[in-house]
Structure 1
Amino acid sequence: MVAGIKSSSIRQENDLISANVGDTVILRCFYEGDMVVISSWYKQTLGEKLQLFSTFYNNESDATFHHKFKDNPRFSVRSGKEVNHLRISDIELSDSATYYCGSTYNNIMEFGKGTIVIVKGSGSRNTTVLQQFISGSVQPGDSVTLNCTIHTETCAGERSVYWFRHGSGEYHPGIIYTHGDRSDQCEKSPVAGSPTQSCVYNLPKRNLSLSDAGTYYCAVASCGEILFGNGTKLDIKGR
């Protein structure tokens, strides 16, 4: 870093935002420092590469959207002194992703920690993701198995299932486990001619500690869609 240049500090207001199809969400991003030249947003869908979403130059009045996000009235950016807020209206299932706020100054680029957006709603293939409720007291040293059941119509292509955790405090959500395409975990409907199948995915958690507490989300990427369960909350009480 060149001497005399103050590093900007990026803060994304939310770690995780949950919305229903059709809602409007605002991803708020704040930064410090008057040397920022470009403010940007990046989108990363589960299992895919980071993709440039928008850029805003401090000498222009409007943000520029890139790739498939161009000319889409659902997206808008409010950028100005120390703010860079992304608004997504009439939200769709395809908007589920992690969004990173970035700033560029003196050829140095910084990113915020990211905001995970979970969009819930009916999929076009009538896919349902169910997570069970954990009853009873869980204490350090105990073991539990988190369960995710997916009811879906069969389709060509692979299915990927992800688990991630949203803890309390400073812990940021992140993928903790990925299931590949495991057809042996699926059973077809016993109804003759039915295209529906049920798939079960388990996440064993052994020798739990207080740091394992949080809400665990199951997400399935299949047939061009990404759907999320409602989450399983794991409360761990000290002995």
Structure 2
Amino acid sequence: MWPLLYAALVFQVARCTDMPLFETRAHDPGETLTLTCPRSVKTTDISTFHWIRVLSGSYPEFLGATFSFEYEGVNKTPHTTTKQGVGTFDLIIHQLSLTDTGFYYCVKVEDLEMELVFGIFLIIKDPASAVRVESPDLSGPVDSGDSVDLQCWVQMENAQCFEEHMVWWFRSGLDQSGPGLVYTQRNSSAQCDRSTEDPGPHKCLYTFSKTMSPSDAGTYRCAVAACGHIIFGNGTKV
């Protein structure tokens, strides 16, 4: 009932008022974010402002309210705080997490009428998306005794992932048996285009050289552990 009622109210507001301010913003996990809603200050205005959050798969959530006039009340939970600023009604989200992705609305209520003042679609970036793994396709037959260089390109958007990452090499046999670990490589600045102190994106090339025998045939795949995730590259069949 709540989601349908709220959707109906927002729909009516959108039809009866000017287009409200609406944004789409993306932020990293762990940040503290302040969302600001304009608050009209009039001595004759006794309206109230409300912050409401709608997350995927959840009921709309009331986060806090205030008056249009100066008011020192604060609504606080371990994760969010709502309070007045100078001419604003602010929502502060502490330690952003992936579950904070959703719609946030600031609503003004006056004389039983609702006005959508500000809306935002907030996207919290998945740390896994900051890491990309690619293996050049070197698939093809080789002779026993030949040395094969398997390559794995790793690109990372932030220094934290770069400092913590590790590269693993797995092989799946021709009989489609489960992958087995064959080699581990720790991160090395010598294999990357930037130093560990550089905060920009890093691109690193890891090479695994192996002298092949008939028992080594199979599909080789690199995997990168970074930022609490494991990301697999595409496989190379040898």
**Fold shared per TM-score above 0.5:** no
Higher share in helix: 2
Which TM-score bucket, shorter chain as reference? 0.3 to 0.5
TM-score when normalising by structure 1 = 0.41
